[in-house]
C-alpha cells in the first residue's frame, strides 16, 4: 500500500491555531492565541437554535442555504449598503467563511492561475490557493511607520503583482492578524487595478462588526464597478460569538454564486439546517435590538484593557482599527524569533499568543510581532495580565 499523502497536502503542517491551543491546554496557559470568544453568545441567538431543533428543522437544508438566512443576509445588505439583493441568486450559505474560501479557490482557480494575497495573510488563503493547483502572489502589508499610522501597502508593489496577471485577489478587512481596516483610498486603488486587469475580488469581511474609533468598514463590492466582480464572505462566528457554529455565506453577483455553488455542492452540499435558521433569526433581530452597538462597546473595553496590560509590561502595541486581535512588538523586550517567543510565553509564563510569522509564506520575512486575542472575558484578560507581569523582570 502506498500510504503517502497527495502532493497537494503533503507539505502542510498543523495549523498554528491548533498547535498553540494544544500547547496552551497542556501548560494550563491563558489562551489569547486562537481567535474565539471565551464568553457565551447572546441568549436570543442560542434560543433561536434550540427552537429550530425543537421545531424539527433537522433535515438537509437546500444546497444554496435556507431561505430564511439568505433573505436575512440580503435584507441586511440592502439596509446597510442600499443595494437590492436577489436572495435566491446572489447569496449562498457555506460551512463558515472557511468553506467559502475553499469553494472559491476550487471553483475559480486552475493549475497555473495566480491569486494575490496581502501578507500577513489569514492562514487558510495560501493552502486553499495551492490545493487548487494555483500560485499565491504575496503583496506585503508594511508595519506602521512615522508617516504611516497603520499597516500600509505600496501601490507600485501591488501594481507589479497585478501585472503578473492574477485571476483573483483575496482581501480581508478588517484584517486578521493586523487589525487594519482598509481605507476608502486603498480600496479605490484595488478596485481600479481589478478593473484594469480584469481580476475578481474575494473579500473576507468576517470582522465587519468589530470596528473601533474612527475606522469605518467599507465593502470593496460597494465601490463603482466592483459588484459584478466581487464575492463578499462573512459568517456568524465572530459577530454572534458562536465560532463553533460554522455558518457562513457569500454575497455577490449571480454568476459568482453559481460558480461557488459548483464546488460547494460537492464539498459539503449544505450546512447545518437549525443553525442556519438561528443565524437568520440572529441577523433579523440584531437589526433592531441594538446588539451591534453593544458588541462594539464591549469589544472596545476588552481592547483597551489588553492594550494597557501589554504596554504596561513593556510590549509596545500596534494600532487596532478592527478585528479582535492586537499585535505587540516583541523586539522591544529583546526578542526576535516570534515563534520561539510565543512558545516560551505559553509554556513558561502561561499566556498563549500567535506568532505573526505564521501568516507569511516566508516566515523569515515577518516582523517580530506576537498576536493576542481580546475576545475574552475581562477577568481572563486580567488573569493574563497578572502572568505577564513577569516580563517586567
Contacting positions for ligand GLN (CB under 6 A): 15, 17, 34-35, 176
User: What's the CA gap between 9 and 14, in Å, rounded?
Assistant: 11
Q: Tell me: does residue 219 bind ligand PMP (CB under 6 A).
A: no
Q: Which one, of 224, 199, 239, 10, lies nearest residue 117 by Cα?
A: 199
User: What's the CA gap between 372 and 326, in Å, rounded?
Assistant: 5
Say which residues have a Cβ less than 8 Å from residue 102's Cβ, sequence separation at least 6: 124, 128, 131, 263, 267
Q: Tell me: does residue 150 bind ligand PMP (CB under 6 A).
A: no
Residues listed for the chain: 393
Q: Which stretch binds ligand PMP (CB under 6 A): 96-104, 220-228, 304-312, 359-367?
A: 96-104
Least distance to ligand PMP from the beta carbon of 75, Å? 20
Q: Which does 34 bind (CB under 5 to 8 A by kind): ligand GLN, ligand PMP, none?
A: ligand GLN
Q: Which stretch binds ligand PMP (CB under 6 A): 53-61, 91-99, 143-151, 364-372?
A: 91-99
For residue 169, the surrounding DSSP H or E stretch is strand 168-172
Q: Tell me: does residue 174 bind ligand PMP (CB under 6 A).
A: no
Nearer to ligand PMP, 243 or 273 (CB): 243
Residue with cell 451591534: 292
For residue 305, the surrounding DSSP H or E stretch is helix 291-312
255 grid coordinates: 454568476
Nearer to ligand PMP, 201 or 349 (CB): 201
- Whether 197 contacts 161, CB under 8 Å: no
Nearer to ligand GLN, 15 or 296 (CB): 15
**Alpha-carbon Rg of the chain, whole angstroms?**
21
> Which residue blocks in 86-180 are alpha helix, DSSP H?
96-108, 125-131, 155-162
Q: How far apart are the first and last CA of the chain?
A: 56
Q: Which of 33, 37, 65, 237 binds ligand PMP (CB under 6 A)?
A: 237
Q: Tell me: does residue 176 bind ligand PMP (CB under 6 A).
A: yes
Residue with cell 497603520: 150
Least distance to ligand GLN from the beta carbon of 263, Å? 19
Q: Tell me: does residue 122 bind ligand PMP (CB under 6 A).
A: yes
Least distance to ligand PMP from the beta carbon of 251, Å? 14
Least distance to ligand PMP from the beta carbon of 271, Å? 11
User: What's the CA gap between 107 and 256, in Å, rounded?
Assistant: 9
Least distance to ligand GLN from the beta carbon of 370, Å? 13
Q: Which stretch binds ligand PMP (CB under 6 A): 131-139, 160-168, 242-250, 272-280?
A: 242-250
Q: Which stretch binds ligand PMP (CB under 6 A): 241-249, 259-267, 346-354, 355-363?
A: 241-249
Q: Tell me: does residue 166 bind ligand PMP (CB under 6 A).
A: no
Q: Which of 31, 232, 243, 356 binds ligand PMP (CB under 6 A)?
A: 243
Binders of ligand PMP among residues 247 to 276 (CB under 6 A) are 248
- The residue number with the shortest CB distance to ligand PMP is 96
Least distance to ligand GLN from the beta carbon of 243, Å? 7
The 8-class DSSP code of residue 164 comes to T
Q: Tell me: does residue 240 bind ligand PMP (CB under 6 A).
A: no
The 8-class DSSP code of residue 49 comes to H
- Whether 80 contacts 101, CB under 8 Å: no
- Whether 143 contacts 327, CB under 8 Å: no
Q: Which does 235 bind (CB under 5 to 8 A by kind): ligand GLN, ligand PMP, none?
A: ligand PMP
CA 82 vs. chain centroid, Å, equals 24
Binding footprint of ligand PMP on the chain (CB under 6 A): 35, 96-98, 122, 172, 176, 204, 206, 235, 237, 243, 246, 248
Amino acid at each position: 500500500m502506498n500510504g503517502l499523502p497527495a502532493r497537494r497536502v503533503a507539505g502542510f503542517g498543523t495549523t498554528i491555531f491548533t498547535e498553540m491551543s494544544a500547547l496552551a491546554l497542556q501548560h494550563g496557559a491563558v489562551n489569547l492565541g486562537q481567535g474565539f470568544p471565551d464568553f457565551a453568545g447572546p441568549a436570543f441567538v442560542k434560543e433561536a437554535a434550540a427552537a429550530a431543533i425543537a421545531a424539527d428543522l433537522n433535515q438537509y437544508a437546500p444546497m444554496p442555504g435556507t431561505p430564511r438566512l439568505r433573505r436575512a443576509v440580503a435584507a441586511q445588505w440592502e439596509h446597510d449598503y442600499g443595494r437590492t439583493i436577489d436572495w435566491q441568486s446572489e447569496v449562498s450559505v457555506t460551512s463558515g467563511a472557511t468553506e467559502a474560501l475553499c469553494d472559491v479557490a476550487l471553483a475559480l482557480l486552475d493549475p497555473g492561475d495566480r491569486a494575490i494575497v496581502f501578507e500577513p495573510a489569514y492562514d487558510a488563503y495560501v493552502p486553499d490557493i495551492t490545493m487548487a493547483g494555483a500560485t499565491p502572489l504575496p503583496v506585503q502589508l508594511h508595519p506602521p511607520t512615522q508617516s504611516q499610522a497603520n499597516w500600509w501597502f505600496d501601490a507600485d508593489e501591488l501594481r507589479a503583482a497585478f501585472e503578473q496577471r492574477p485571476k483573483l485577489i483575496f482581501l480581508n478587512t478588517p484584517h486578521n492578524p493586523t487589525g487594519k481596516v482598509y481605507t476608502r483610498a486603498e480600496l479605490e486603488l484595488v478596485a481600479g487595478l481589478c478593473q484594469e486587469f480584469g481580476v475578481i475580488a474575494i473579500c473576507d469581511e468576517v470582522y465587519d462588526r468589530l470596528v473601533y474609533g474612527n475606522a469605518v468598514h467599507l465593502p470593496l463590492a460597494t465601490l463603482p464597478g466592483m459588484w459584478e466582480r466581487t464575492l463578499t464572505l462573512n459568517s456568524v462566528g465572530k459577530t454572534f460569538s458562536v465560532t463553533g457554529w460554522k455558518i457562513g455565506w457569500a454575497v455577490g453577483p449571480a454568476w459568482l454564486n453559481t460558480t461557488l455553488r459548483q464546488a460547494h455542492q460537492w464539498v459539503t452540499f449544505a450546512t447545518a439546517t437549525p443553525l442556519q435558521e438561528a443565524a437568520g433569526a440572529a441577523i433579523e433581530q440584531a437589526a433592531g435590538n441594538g446588539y451591534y452597538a453593544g458588541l462594539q462597546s464591549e469589544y472596545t473595553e476588552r481592547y483597551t484593557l489588553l492594550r494597557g496590560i501589554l504596554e504596561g509590561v513593556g510590549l509596545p502595541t500596534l494600532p487596532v482599527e478592527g478585528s479582535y486581535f492586537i499585535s505587540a512588538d516583541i523586539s522591544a523586550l529583546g526578542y526576535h524569533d516570534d515563534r520561539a517567543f510565543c512558545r516560551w510565553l505559553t509554556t513558561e509564563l502561561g499566556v498563549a499568543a500567535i506568532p505573526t510569522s505564521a501568516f507569511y509564506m516566508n516566515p523569515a520575512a515577518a516582523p517580530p510581532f506576537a498576536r493576542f486575542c481580546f475576545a475574552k472575558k475581562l477577568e481572563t484578560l486580567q488573569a493574563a495580565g497578572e502572568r505577564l507581569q513577569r516580563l517586567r523582570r
